[in-house]
Structure 1
Amino acid sequence: MTQPQLPLADRAALVTGGGSGIGLGCALRFAAEGAHVTVAGRGEDRLKAAVAELEAVAAPGARVGYVVADVTDEDQTRAAVEHAASLGRPLTAVVASAGGNSTMGPITLVDTQKWRDTVDLNVTGTMLVLKHGARHMVRAGGGSFVAISSVASAATHRWFGAYGVAKAGIDHLVRLAADELGASRVRVNSIRPGLVRTEMVETVTAGGPVLDDYLACTPLGRIGEPADIAALAAFLVGPESTWLTGQTISADGGHHLRRGPDYRPVLEPLFGPEALRGAVDG
Protein backbone atom coordinates (compact mmCIF):
# COMPACT_ATOMS: atom_id res chain seq x y z
CA MET A 1 0.00 0.00 0.00
CA THR A 2 1.54 3.29 -1.09
CA GLN A 3 1.45 6.34 1.13
CA PRO A 4 -1.47 8.08 -0.68
CA GLN A 5 -3.54 4.91 -0.27
CA LEU A 6 -3.20 4.77 3.51
CA PRO A 7 -6.78 5.36 4.72
CA LEU A 8 -5.84 6.45 8.25
CA ALA A 9 -2.84 8.64 7.44
CA ASP A 10 -2.58 12.05 9.10
CA ARG A 11 -4.83 11.22 12.03
CA ALA A 12 -4.28 10.08 15.60
CA ALA A 13 -5.92 7.07 17.21
CA LEU A 14 -6.29 5.89 20.80
CA VAL A 15 -6.94 2.24 21.65
CA THR A 16 -7.66 1.32 25.26
CA GLY A 17 -6.98 -2.26 26.23
CA GLY A 18 -4.39 -2.01 23.47
CA GLY A 19 -1.74 -4.17 25.08
CA SER A 20 -3.21 -7.47 23.94
CA GLY A 21 -6.11 -9.24 22.29
CA ILE A 22 -8.68 -7.32 20.27
CA GLY A 23 -7.29 -3.95 21.31
CA LEU A 24 -3.81 -4.82 20.09
CA GLY A 25 -5.28 -6.22 16.88
CA CYS A 26 -7.03 -2.90 16.24
CA ALA A 27 -3.88 -0.92 17.02
CA LEU A 28 -1.82 -3.03 14.62
CA ARG A 29 -4.32 -2.48 11.82
CA PHE A 30 -4.51 1.27 12.45
CA ALA A 31 -0.72 1.69 12.53
CA ALA A 32 -0.34 -0.28 9.31
CA GLU A 33 -2.90 2.02 7.70
CA GLY A 34 -0.95 5.14 8.66
CA ALA A 35 -2.45 6.34 11.94
CA HIS A 36 -0.41 7.67 14.83
CA VAL A 37 -1.47 5.17 17.49
CA THR A 38 -1.44 5.37 21.28
CA VAL A 39 -2.27 2.21 23.19
CA ALA A 40 -3.43 2.42 26.80
CA GLY A 41 -3.72 -0.22 29.48
CA ARG A 42 -2.84 -1.09 33.04
CA GLY A 43 0.30 -3.19 32.46
CA GLU A 44 3.40 -1.29 31.34
CA ASP A 45 5.41 -4.37 30.33
CA ARG A 46 2.58 -5.57 28.12
CA LEU A 47 2.23 -2.11 26.57
CA LYS A 48 5.95 -1.94 25.82
CA ALA A 49 5.74 -5.30 24.07
CA ALA A 50 2.72 -4.06 22.12
CA VAL A 51 4.60 -0.97 20.96
CA ALA A 52 7.40 -3.19 19.65
CA GLU A 53 4.83 -5.06 17.57
CA LEU A 54 3.31 -1.81 16.35
CA GLU A 55 6.68 -0.41 15.31
CA ALA A 56 7.27 -3.50 13.18
CA VAL A 57 4.13 -2.91 11.07
CA ALA A 58 3.60 0.86 11.24
CA ALA A 59 3.45 2.73 7.94
CA PRO A 60 6.32 5.11 7.22
CA GLY A 61 5.97 8.22 9.34
CA ALA A 62 3.33 6.74 11.67
CA ARG A 63 4.18 7.26 15.33
CA VAL A 64 3.26 4.77 18.04
CA GLY A 65 3.39 4.95 21.81
CA TYR A 66 1.70 3.95 25.03
CA VAL A 67 0.19 5.36 28.21
CA VAL A 68 -0.36 3.41 31.40
CA ALA A 69 -3.97 4.06 32.35
CA ASP A 70 -6.85 2.40 34.18
CA VAL A 71 -10.02 3.40 32.32
CA THR A 72 -12.03 3.38 35.55
CA ASP A 73 -9.87 6.27 36.79
CA GLU A 74 -11.02 9.49 35.18
CA ASP A 75 -7.77 11.40 35.64
CA GLN A 76 -5.76 8.58 34.07
CA THR A 77 -8.24 8.25 31.22
CA ARG A 78 -8.14 11.99 30.56
CA ALA A 79 -4.34 11.86 30.49
CA ALA A 80 -4.36 8.99 27.99
CA VAL A 81 -6.68 10.92 25.68
CA GLU A 82 -4.55 14.06 26.00
CA HIS A 83 -1.42 12.11 25.10
CA ALA A 84 -3.06 10.59 22.02
CA ALA A 85 -4.20 14.06 20.96
CA SER A 86 -0.72 15.57 21.35
CA LEU A 87 0.97 13.77 18.45
CA GLY A 88 0.51 16.60 15.97
CA ARG A 89 -2.54 15.14 14.27
CA PRO A 90 -6.23 15.44 15.17
CA LEU A 91 -7.56 12.66 17.39
CA THR A 92 -10.34 11.30 15.21
CA ALA A 93 -10.31 7.58 16.01
CA VAL A 94 -10.89 6.04 19.45
CA VAL A 95 -11.46 2.37 20.24
CA ALA A 96 -12.59 1.44 23.76
CA SER A 97 -11.49 -2.17 24.07
CA ALA A 98 -10.63 -2.39 27.77
CA GLY A 99 -12.99 -4.81 29.48
CA GLY A 100 -13.33 -8.09 31.31
CA ASN A 101 -15.36 -10.17 33.71
CA SER A 102 -14.93 -11.15 37.35
CA THR A 103 -18.32 -12.78 37.95
CA MET A 104 -18.55 -16.29 36.46
CA GLY A 105 -21.07 -18.39 38.36
CA PRO A 106 -24.75 -18.56 39.40
CA ILE A 107 -26.55 -15.26 39.85
CA THR A 108 -27.65 -16.35 43.35
CA LEU A 109 -23.99 -16.63 44.35
CA VAL A 110 -22.59 -13.60 42.57
CA ASP A 111 -20.09 -11.53 44.54
CA THR A 112 -21.61 -8.06 44.70
CA GLN A 113 -18.29 -6.21 44.68
CA LYS A 114 -17.07 -8.20 41.68
CA TRP A 115 -20.35 -7.38 39.95
CA ARG A 116 -19.72 -3.69 40.58
CA ASP A 117 -16.11 -4.01 39.42
CA THR A 118 -17.19 -5.65 36.15
CA VAL A 119 -19.84 -3.02 35.43
CA ASP A 120 -17.39 -0.25 36.34
CA LEU A 121 -14.67 -1.58 34.05
CA ASN A 122 -16.90 -2.15 31.04
CA VAL A 123 -19.59 0.54 31.26
CA THR A 124 -17.98 3.35 33.25
CA GLY A 125 -14.61 2.75 31.62
CA THR A 126 -16.11 3.00 28.15
CA MET A 127 -18.08 6.09 29.16
CA LEU A 128 -14.96 7.85 30.43
CA VAL A 129 -13.02 7.12 27.26
CA LEU A 130 -15.99 8.39 25.24
CA LYS A 131 -16.49 11.44 27.44
CA HIS A 132 -12.93 12.69 27.01
CA GLY A 133 -12.26 11.33 23.55
CA ALA A 134 -15.41 12.89 22.11
CA ARG A 135 -14.41 16.34 23.37
CA HIS A 136 -11.32 16.23 21.14
CA MET A 137 -13.19 14.80 18.18
CA VAL A 138 -15.83 17.53 18.41
CA ARG A 139 -13.07 20.18 18.39
CA ALA A 140 -11.43 18.42 15.44
CA GLY A 141 -14.64 18.67 13.44
CA GLY A 142 -15.61 15.01 13.73
CA GLY A 143 -14.35 11.52 14.33
CA SER A 144 -15.29 7.95 15.09
CA PHE A 145 -15.62 6.16 18.41
CA VAL A 146 -15.82 2.36 18.46
CA ALA A 147 -16.75 0.41 21.59
CA ILE A 148 -16.03 -3.29 21.91
CA SER A 149 -19.17 -5.03 23.12
CA SER A 150 -19.89 -8.79 22.96
CA VAL A 151 -22.32 -11.35 21.59
CA ALA A 152 -23.11 -11.85 25.29
CA SER A 153 -24.92 -8.49 25.28
CA ALA A 154 -27.63 -9.93 23.03
CA ALA A 155 -27.61 -13.72 23.51
CA THR A 156 -27.85 -14.77 27.15
CA HIS A 157 -24.73 -16.49 28.40
CA ARG A 158 -25.86 -18.37 31.49
CA TRP A 159 -23.65 -17.92 34.55
CA PHE A 160 -21.72 -14.98 33.06
CA GLY A 161 -22.86 -12.69 35.86
CA ALA A 162 -22.35 -9.01 35.10
CA TYR A 163 -20.52 -9.38 31.78
CA GLY A 164 -23.45 -9.55 29.36
CA VAL A 165 -25.34 -6.96 31.38
CA ALA A 166 -22.37 -4.58 31.20
CA LYS A 167 -21.91 -5.12 27.47
CA ALA A 168 -25.61 -4.41 26.90
CA GLY A 169 -25.02 -1.16 28.77
CA ILE A 170 -22.23 -0.31 26.35
CA ASP A 171 -24.54 -0.88 23.40
CA HIS A 172 -27.11 1.53 24.81
CA LEU A 173 -24.40 4.08 25.62
CA VAL A 174 -23.33 3.93 21.98
CA ARG A 175 -26.84 4.66 20.72
CA LEU A 176 -27.28 7.53 23.18
CA ALA A 177 -23.93 9.11 22.30
CA ALA A 178 -24.49 8.68 18.55
CA ASP A 179 -27.77 10.57 18.87
CA GLU A 180 -26.19 13.39 20.88
CA LEU A 181 -22.94 13.75 18.95
CA GLY A 182 -24.16 13.44 15.40
CA ALA A 183 -24.57 17.21 15.20
CA SER A 184 -20.80 17.47 15.70
CA ARG A 185 -20.02 14.79 13.09
CA VAL A 186 -18.80 12.38 15.74
CA ARG A 187 -19.91 8.85 14.91
CA VAL A 188 -20.33 6.24 17.66
CA ASN A 189 -20.70 2.50 17.01
CA SER A 190 -20.01 -0.77 18.75
CA ILE A 191 -18.79 -4.18 17.66
CA ARG A 192 -20.13 -7.38 19.20
CA PRO A 193 -17.40 -10.00 18.84
CA GLY A 194 -18.11 -13.67 19.34
CA LEU A 195 -15.45 -16.03 20.67
CA VAL A 196 -12.10 -14.52 19.65
CA ARG A 197 -8.72 -16.10 20.27
CA THR A 198 -7.34 -13.91 23.07
CA GLU A 199 -5.59 -14.46 26.39
CA MET A 200 -8.82 -13.77 28.26
CA VAL A 201 -10.49 -16.91 26.87
CA GLU A 202 -7.49 -19.15 26.19
CA THR A 203 -8.82 -21.83 28.54
CA VAL A 204 -11.82 -22.12 26.19
CA THR A 205 -10.04 -21.81 22.86
CA ALA A 206 -7.51 -24.46 23.90
CA GLY A 207 -10.22 -27.06 23.32
CA GLY A 208 -12.83 -29.10 25.16
CA PRO A 209 -16.62 -29.36 25.41
CA VAL A 210 -17.21 -25.62 25.85
CA LEU A 211 -15.27 -24.84 22.69
CA ASP A 212 -17.15 -27.58 20.89
CA ASP A 213 -20.42 -25.95 21.92
CA TYR A 214 -19.26 -22.51 20.80
CA LEU A 215 -18.45 -23.95 17.39
CA ALA A 216 -21.82 -25.71 17.25
CA CYS A 217 -23.43 -22.30 17.86
CA THR A 218 -21.38 -20.59 15.13
CA PRO A 219 -22.58 -21.01 11.53
CA LEU A 220 -19.14 -20.24 10.10
CA GLY A 221 -17.66 -22.90 12.38
CA ARG A 222 -14.44 -21.28 13.54
CA ILE A 223 -13.00 -19.14 16.32
CA GLY A 224 -12.52 -15.50 15.51
CA GLU A 225 -9.13 -13.81 15.41
CA PRO A 226 -8.28 -10.29 16.63
CA ALA A 227 -7.65 -9.35 13.01
CA ASP A 228 -11.30 -10.12 12.20
CA ILE A 229 -12.46 -7.49 14.66
CA ALA A 230 -9.69 -5.07 13.69
CA ALA A 231 -10.83 -5.13 10.06
CA LEU A 232 -14.30 -3.97 11.08
CA ALA A 233 -12.90 -1.37 13.48
CA ALA A 234 -10.69 0.03 10.70
CA PHE A 235 -13.74 0.34 8.47
CA LEU A 236 -15.71 2.10 11.23
CA VAL A 237 -12.99 4.71 11.86
CA GLY A 238 -12.09 5.07 8.18
CA PRO A 239 -13.39 7.18 5.30
CA GLU A 240 -15.85 4.61 3.91
CA SER A 241 -18.27 4.59 6.87
CA THR A 242 -19.02 8.27 7.23
CA TRP A 243 -22.82 7.76 7.16
CA LEU A 244 -22.82 5.01 9.75
CA THR A 245 -23.53 5.74 13.40
CA GLY A 246 -25.47 4.34 16.35
CA GLN A 247 -24.92 0.79 15.12
CA THR A 248 -24.07 -2.38 17.01
CA ILE A 249 -22.50 -4.79 14.54
CA SER A 250 -22.03 -8.48 15.26
CA ALA A 251 -18.67 -9.89 14.18
CA ASP A 252 -19.09 -13.42 15.48
CA GLY A 253 -19.25 -15.91 12.63
CA GLY A 254 -23.03 -15.84 12.95
CA HIS A 255 -23.14 -16.86 16.62
CA HIS A 256 -25.87 -14.27 17.36
CA LEU A 257 -28.23 -16.29 15.15
CA ARG A 258 -28.30 -19.19 17.60
CA ARG A 259 -27.83 -19.25 21.40
CA GLY A 260 -25.31 -18.57 24.11
CA PRO A 261 -22.68 -21.24 24.86
CA ASP A 262 -23.10 -23.97 27.48
CA TYR A 263 -20.55 -23.56 30.28
CA ARG A 264 -22.09 -26.35 32.35
CA PRO A 265 -19.13 -28.76 31.82
CA VAL A 266 -16.81 -26.20 33.45
CA LEU A 267 -19.06 -24.73 36.12
CA GLU A 268 -21.05 -27.73 37.34
CA PRO A 269 -17.98 -29.36 38.95
CA LEU A 270 -17.29 -26.08 40.77
CA PHE A 271 -20.77 -25.18 41.95
CA GLY A 272 -22.88 -28.33 41.58
CA PRO A 273 -26.04 -28.81 39.50
CA GLU A 274 -28.36 -27.42 42.18
CA ALA A 275 -26.48 -24.14 42.43
CA LEU A 276 -26.55 -23.69 38.65
CA ARG A 277 -30.34 -23.58 38.82
CA GLY A 278 -30.20 -21.07 41.67
CA ALA A 279 -30.66 -23.36 44.68
CA VAL A 280 -28.28 -22.24 47.42
CA ASP A 281 -28.31 -22.22 51.21
CA GLY A 282 -28.72 -19.03 53.18
Structure 2
Amino acid sequence: MLRSVAKCLLANPVSACRRTMSHSSLAGKTAIVTASTDGIGLAAAEALGQRGAHVVVSSRRQANVDKAVSLLRSKNIQVTGTTCNVGKSEDREKLVQLTVDQCGGVDILVNNAAVNPFFGNIMDSTEAVWDKILAINVKSAFLMTKLVVPHMEKRGGGSVVFVSSIAGYQPMQLLGPYSVSKTALLGLTRALAPELAQSNIRVNCVAPGIIKTRFSSALWQSEELVDEFKKQLAIKRLGEPEDIGGVVAFLCSDDAAYMTGETLTVTGGMSCRL
Protein backbone atom coordinates (compact mmCIF):
# COMPACT_ATOMS: atom_id res chain seq x y z
CA MET A 1 0.00 0.00 0.00
CA LEU A 2 2.76 2.46 0.93
CA ARG A 3 4.51 1.74 -2.39
CA SER A 4 1.30 2.62 -4.26
CA VAL A 5 0.95 5.87 -2.32
CA ALA A 6 4.54 6.80 -3.10
CA LYS A 7 4.01 6.17 -6.81
CA CYS A 8 0.89 8.33 -6.76
CA LEU A 9 2.73 11.20 -5.08
CA LEU A 10 5.64 10.98 -7.52
CA ALA A 11 3.27 10.99 -10.46
CA ASN A 12 1.24 13.94 -9.11
CA PRO A 13 3.63 16.24 -7.24
CA VAL A 14 1.51 19.33 -7.79
CA SER A 15 -1.67 17.82 -6.35
CA ALA A 16 0.26 16.58 -3.32
CA CYS A 17 1.35 20.13 -2.51
CA ARG A 18 -1.74 21.98 -3.65
CA ARG A 19 -3.42 22.34 -0.26
CA THR A 20 -1.81 25.12 1.71
CA MET A 21 -2.88 26.84 4.89
CA SER A 22 -5.21 29.72 4.19
CA HIS A 23 -6.36 32.60 6.34
CA SER A 24 -9.87 31.28 6.82
CA SER A 25 -12.75 33.68 6.54
CA LEU A 26 -15.55 33.58 9.08
CA ALA A 27 -17.53 36.25 7.26
CA GLY A 28 -21.25 35.77 7.75
CA LYS A 29 -20.75 33.72 10.93
CA THR A 30 -21.99 34.68 14.39
CA ALA A 31 -19.96 33.76 17.47
CA ILE A 32 -20.90 33.83 21.14
CA VAL A 33 -17.93 33.98 23.51
CA THR A 34 -18.70 33.79 27.22
CA ALA A 35 -16.68 35.80 29.76
CA SER A 36 -15.22 37.76 26.88
CA THR A 37 -14.43 41.25 28.13
CA ASP A 38 -10.92 40.43 29.32
CA GLY A 39 -8.11 37.90 28.98
CA ILE A 40 -8.51 34.81 26.82
CA GLY A 41 -12.20 35.46 26.16
CA LEU A 42 -11.56 38.93 24.76
CA ALA A 43 -8.60 37.66 22.71
CA ALA A 44 -10.80 34.90 21.26
CA ALA A 45 -13.54 37.39 20.38
CA GLU A 46 -11.00 39.65 18.69
CA ALA A 47 -9.44 36.79 16.70
CA LEU A 48 -12.87 35.61 15.53
CA GLY A 49 -13.90 39.16 14.68
CA GLN A 50 -10.72 39.82 12.72
CA ARG A 51 -11.64 36.85 10.55
CA GLY A 52 -15.03 38.35 9.78
CA ALA A 53 -17.36 36.89 12.42
CA HIS A 54 -19.92 39.00 14.23
CA VAL A 55 -18.97 38.42 17.87
CA VAL A 56 -21.28 38.61 20.86
CA VAL A 57 -19.33 39.38 24.03
CA SER A 58 -20.53 39.25 27.60
CA SER A 59 -19.58 39.40 31.24
CA ARG A 60 -21.35 40.07 34.51
CA ARG A 61 -20.64 43.83 34.64
CA GLN A 62 -22.02 46.34 32.13
CA ALA A 63 -18.97 48.61 32.43
CA ASN A 64 -16.70 45.76 31.32
CA VAL A 65 -19.03 44.95 28.42
CA ASP A 66 -19.04 48.58 27.27
CA LYS A 67 -15.25 48.75 27.42
CA ALA A 68 -14.80 45.55 25.39
CA VAL A 69 -17.37 46.59 22.77
CA SER A 70 -15.64 49.95 22.34
CA LEU A 71 -12.24 48.31 21.96
CA LEU A 72 -13.43 45.77 19.38
CA ARG A 73 -15.33 48.39 17.38
CA SER A 74 -12.20 50.52 17.26
CA LYS A 75 -10.63 47.58 15.41
CA ASN A 76 -13.50 47.46 12.89
CA ILE A 77 -14.95 44.28 14.38
CA GLN A 78 -18.69 43.63 14.26
CA VAL A 79 -19.67 43.22 17.89
CA THR A 80 -22.69 43.07 20.16
CA GLY A 81 -22.37 43.10 23.94
CA THR A 82 -24.57 42.23 26.90
CA THR A 83 -24.31 41.32 30.55
CA CYS A 84 -24.49 37.63 31.39
CA ASN A 85 -23.83 35.52 34.45
CA VAL A 86 -23.58 32.06 32.91
CA GLY A 87 -24.50 30.51 36.24
CA LYS A 88 -28.06 31.86 35.86
CA SER A 89 -30.41 30.13 33.43
CA GLU A 90 -32.27 33.36 32.62
CA ASP A 91 -28.99 35.07 31.70
CA ARG A 92 -27.91 32.19 29.45
CA GLU A 93 -31.26 32.26 27.68
CA LYS A 94 -31.11 36.05 27.31
CA LEU A 95 -27.64 35.86 25.77
CA VAL A 96 -28.67 33.28 23.18
CA GLN A 97 -31.98 34.99 22.36
CA LEU A 98 -30.27 38.37 21.93
CA THR A 99 -27.80 36.78 19.53
CA VAL A 100 -30.55 35.16 17.48
CA ASP A 101 -32.65 38.34 17.43
CA GLN A 102 -29.80 40.65 16.41
CA CYS A 103 -27.68 38.33 14.27
CA GLY A 104 -30.17 35.80 12.92
CA GLY A 105 -28.59 32.70 14.44
CA VAL A 106 -25.54 31.15 16.06
CA ASP A 107 -22.62 29.44 14.28
CA ILE A 108 -19.90 29.42 16.95
CA LEU A 109 -19.88 29.06 20.72
CA VAL A 110 -16.74 29.52 22.81
CA ASN A 111 -17.32 28.41 26.41
CA ASN A 112 -14.69 30.41 28.27
CA ALA A 113 -16.36 31.36 31.56
CA ALA A 114 -14.68 29.98 34.68
CA VAL A 115 -14.25 30.71 38.37
CA ASN A 116 -11.80 29.64 41.03
CA PRO A 117 -12.91 30.71 44.53
CA PHE A 118 -10.48 28.37 46.31
CA PHE A 119 -6.70 28.23 46.71
CA GLY A 120 -5.26 25.62 49.05
CA ASN A 121 -5.04 21.92 49.86
CA ILE A 122 -7.83 20.02 48.14
CA MET A 123 -8.85 18.30 51.40
CA ASP A 124 -9.63 21.73 52.84
CA SER A 125 -12.11 22.56 50.08
CA THR A 126 -15.77 22.74 51.02
CA GLU A 127 -18.99 21.56 49.41
CA ALA A 128 -19.81 25.18 48.54
CA VAL A 129 -16.51 25.51 46.69
CA TRP A 130 -17.19 22.39 44.63
CA ASP A 131 -20.75 23.46 43.90
CA LYS A 132 -19.64 26.84 42.57
CA ILE A 133 -16.69 25.59 40.52
CA LEU A 134 -18.57 22.73 38.89
CA ALA A 135 -21.69 24.85 38.29
CA ILE A 136 -19.82 27.57 36.39
CA ASN A 137 -16.87 25.75 34.86
CA VAL A 138 -18.66 22.59 33.72
CA LYS A 139 -22.45 22.62 34.05
CA SER A 140 -23.01 26.08 32.60
CA ALA A 141 -20.72 25.26 29.66
CA PHE A 142 -22.84 22.22 28.85
CA LEU A 143 -26.11 24.11 29.29
CA MET A 144 -24.91 26.95 27.03
CA THR A 145 -24.06 24.33 24.42
CA LYS A 146 -27.48 22.73 24.78
CA LEU A 147 -29.12 26.12 24.22
CA VAL A 148 -27.23 26.96 21.02
CA VAL A 149 -27.32 23.55 19.33
CA PRO A 150 -30.87 23.96 17.92
CA HIS A 151 -29.84 27.30 16.40
CA MET A 152 -26.68 25.79 14.91
CA GLU A 153 -28.76 22.98 13.43
CA LYS A 154 -30.94 25.56 11.69
CA ARG A 155 -27.78 26.99 10.08
CA GLY A 156 -26.64 23.55 8.93
CA GLY A 157 -23.92 23.09 11.54
CA GLY A 158 -21.49 24.93 13.76
CA SER A 159 -18.51 24.80 16.06
CA VAL A 160 -18.26 24.60 19.85
CA VAL A 161 -14.99 25.23 21.70
CA PHE A 162 -14.43 24.62 25.41
CA VAL A 163 -11.58 26.43 27.16
CA SER A 164 -9.95 23.96 29.53
CA SER A 165 -6.42 24.23 30.98
CA ILE A 166 -3.13 22.41 31.26
CA ALA A 167 -4.34 21.77 34.81
CA GLY A 168 -6.93 19.45 33.30
CA TYR A 169 -4.08 17.08 32.41
CA GLN A 170 -1.69 17.86 35.23
CA PRO A 171 -3.55 19.11 38.33
CA MET A 172 -1.84 22.10 39.91
CA GLN A 173 -0.96 22.06 43.57
CA LEU A 174 -3.35 24.27 45.57
CA LEU A 175 -5.78 24.37 42.60
CA GLY A 176 -7.32 20.92 43.01
CA PRO A 177 -11.06 21.57 42.52
CA TYR A 178 -10.39 23.95 39.61
CA SER A 179 -8.09 21.39 37.99
CA VAL A 180 -10.74 18.68 38.28
CA SER A 181 -13.32 20.94 36.63
CA LYS A 182 -10.95 21.47 33.70
CA THR A 183 -10.42 17.70 33.41
CA ALA A 184 -14.20 17.37 33.18
CA LEU A 185 -14.21 19.66 30.12
CA LEU A 186 -11.83 17.27 28.35
CA GLY A 187 -14.35 14.50 28.92
CA LEU A 188 -17.30 16.68 27.95
CA THR A 189 -15.60 17.45 24.65
CA ARG A 190 -15.14 13.75 23.89
CA ALA A 191 -18.69 12.89 24.98
CA LEU A 192 -20.42 15.57 22.91
CA ALA A 193 -18.37 15.29 19.71
CA PRO A 194 -19.80 12.05 18.24
CA GLU A 195 -23.37 12.96 19.15
CA LEU A 196 -23.27 16.46 17.69
CA ALA A 197 -21.33 15.35 14.60
CA GLN A 198 -24.65 13.99 13.35
CA SER A 199 -25.80 17.64 13.13
CA ASN A 200 -22.55 18.80 11.49
CA ILE A 201 -21.49 20.48 14.74
CA ARG A 202 -17.83 20.10 15.68
CA VAL A 203 -16.80 20.10 19.34
CA ASN A 204 -13.21 20.80 20.31
CA CYS A 205 -11.25 22.11 23.27
CA VAL A 206 -8.17 24.20 23.95
CA ALA A 207 -6.01 23.70 27.04
CA PRO A 208 -3.87 26.79 27.70
CA GLY A 209 -0.72 26.72 29.76
CA ILE A 210 0.30 29.64 31.98
CA ILE A 211 -1.24 32.67 30.28
CA LYS A 212 -0.77 36.22 31.60
CA THR A 213 -4.32 37.23 32.44
CA ARG A 214 -5.90 38.90 35.44
CA PHE A 215 -7.60 35.59 36.28
CA SER A 216 -4.28 33.76 36.55
CA SER A 217 -2.30 36.61 38.14
CA ALA A 218 -1.55 34.58 41.30
CA LEU A 219 0.55 32.26 39.13
CA TRP A 220 2.75 34.86 37.45
CA GLN A 221 3.06 37.90 39.71
CA SER A 222 5.86 36.21 41.66
CA GLU A 223 9.17 36.31 39.77
CA GLU A 224 10.32 33.23 41.65
CA LEU A 225 7.25 31.28 40.51
CA VAL A 226 7.64 32.50 36.93
CA ASP A 227 11.27 31.34 36.92
CA GLU A 228 10.13 27.89 38.03
CA PHE A 229 7.54 27.76 35.25
CA LYS A 230 10.09 28.85 32.65
CA LYS A 231 12.28 25.90 33.52
CA GLN A 232 9.46 23.67 32.23
CA LEU A 233 8.91 25.67 29.02
CA ALA A 234 10.52 25.14 25.62
CA ILE A 235 9.46 28.68 24.64
CA LYS A 236 10.97 30.73 27.44
CA ARG A 237 8.11 33.11 28.09
CA LEU A 238 4.65 32.97 29.57
CA GLY A 239 1.75 32.95 27.15
CA GLU A 240 -0.35 35.95 26.18
CA PRO A 241 -4.13 35.83 25.61
CA GLU A 242 -3.54 36.33 21.88
CA ASP A 243 -1.62 33.04 21.81
CA ILE A 244 -4.89 31.31 22.66
CA GLY A 245 -7.26 33.52 20.68
CA GLY A 246 -5.76 32.50 17.35
CA VAL A 247 -5.99 28.81 18.22
CA VAL A 248 -9.66 29.20 19.14
CA ALA A 249 -10.31 30.94 15.81
CA PHE A 250 -8.53 28.10 13.99
CA LEU A 251 -10.73 25.49 15.68
CA CYS A 252 -13.82 27.42 14.55
CA SER A 253 -12.61 27.75 10.96
CA ASP A 254 -12.79 25.53 7.90
CA ASP A 255 -9.08 24.83 8.35
CA ALA A 256 -10.19 22.59 11.23
CA ALA A 257 -13.13 21.08 9.32
CA TYR A 258 -11.89 17.51 9.92
CA MET A 259 -11.32 17.98 13.66
CA THR A 260 -13.80 17.11 16.39
CA GLY A 261 -13.47 15.68 19.88
CA GLU A 262 -9.91 17.00 20.13
CA THR A 263 -8.07 19.11 22.70
CA LEU A 264 -5.17 21.32 21.61
CA THR A 265 -2.65 22.05 24.35
CA VAL A 266 -1.09 25.50 23.98
CA THR A 267 1.56 25.57 26.66
CA GLY A 268 4.83 26.90 25.26
CA GLY A 269 6.17 23.36 25.30
CA MET A 270 5.33 22.54 28.92
CA SER A 271 4.95 18.78 29.00
CA CYS A 272 1.52 17.56 30.09
CA ARG A 273 0.84 14.48 27.93
CA LEU A 274 2.33 12.32 25.18
Into which bin does the TM-score normalised by the smaller protein fall? 0.7 to 0.9
Asked if 1:11 is matched to 2:42, the reply is no
SS across alignment from 2:251: helix
Asked if 1:242 is matched to 2:257, the reply is yes
Deviation at 1:208, TM superposition (A): 2.1
Q: Give the aligned partner of residue 186 of structure 1.
A: 201
User: Which one-letter code corresponds to 1:197 in the other structure?
Assistant: K
Q: Give the aligned partner of residue 21 of structure 1.
A: 39
Q: Which runs of 5+ in 1 are unaligned?
A: 259-282
Q: Give the aligned partner of residue 271 of structure 1.
A: none
1:147 to 162, 172, 177: 162
Deviation at 1:179, TM superposition (A): 1.2
SS across alignment from 1:245: coil
Deviation at 1:221, TM superposition (A): 1.8
Q: Give the aligned partner of residue 61 of structure 2.
A: 43
2:75 to 57, 61, 64: 57
Length, aligned pairs only: 251
User: Which one-letter code corresponds to 1:31 in the other structure?
Assistant: G
Q: Give the aligned partner of residue 85 of structure 1.
A: 100
> How do residues 78-117 of structure 1 correspond to structure 2 at under 5 angstroms?
78-117=93-132
> Per the alignment, do residues 148 and 42 of structure 1 end up closer, same or farther by CA in structure 2, a change over 3 Å counting?
same
Q: Give the aligned partner of residue 123 of structure 1.
A: 138
Q: Give the aligned partner of residue 13 of structure 2.
A: none
Q: Give the aligned partner of residue 10 of structure 2.
A: none
Q: Give the aligned partner of residue 161 of structure 1.
A: 176
Q: Give the aligned partner of residue 262 of structure 1.
A: none
Summarize deviations over 1:76-130 as a string: whole Å, max 9, x none: 1121112122334441111011102112101221122112111111001211111
Summarize deviations over 1:15-46 as a string: whole Å, max 9, x none: 00101110000111111211111112111111
SS across alignment from 1:39: strand
User: Which one-letter code corresponds to 1:160 in the other structure?
Assistant: L
SS across alignment from 2:32: strand
> How do residues 189-228 of structure 1 correspond to structure 2 at under 5 angstroms?
189-228=204-243
Does the 8 Å CA contact 1:43/1:68 hold for their aligned counterparts?
Answer: yes
Aligned partners of 2:230, 2:149: CA distance in 1, in Å?
37
Q: TM-score, normalised by structure 1?
A: 0.85
SS across alignment from 2:107: strand
Does the 8 Å CA contact 1:13/1:38 hold for their aligned counterparts?
Answer: yes
SS across alignment from 2:216: helix
Does the 8 Å CA contact 1:12/1:85 hold for their aligned counterparts?
Answer: no
Deviation at 1:223, TM superposition (A): 0.6
Deviation at 1:205, TM superposition (A): 2.3
Aligned partners of 1:166, 1:234: CA distance in 2, in Å?
23
User: Which one-letter code corresponds to 1:71 in the other structure?
Assistant: V
SS across alignment from 1:199: coil
Q: TM-score, normalised by structure 2?
A: 0.87
Deviation at 1:247, TM superposition (A): 0.4
Aligned partners of 1:88, 1:132: CA distance in 2, in Å?
16
Aligned partners of 2:130, 2:53: CA distance in 1, in Å?
36
Q: Give the aligned partner of residue 191 of structure 2.
A: 176
SS across alignment from 1:91: coil
User: Which one-letter code corresponds to 2:228 in the other structure?
Assistant: D
Deviation at 1:72, TM superposition (A): 1.4
Does the 8 Å CA contact 1:115/1:161 hold for their aligned counterparts?
Answer: no
Q: Give the aligned partner of residue 277 of structure 1.
A: none
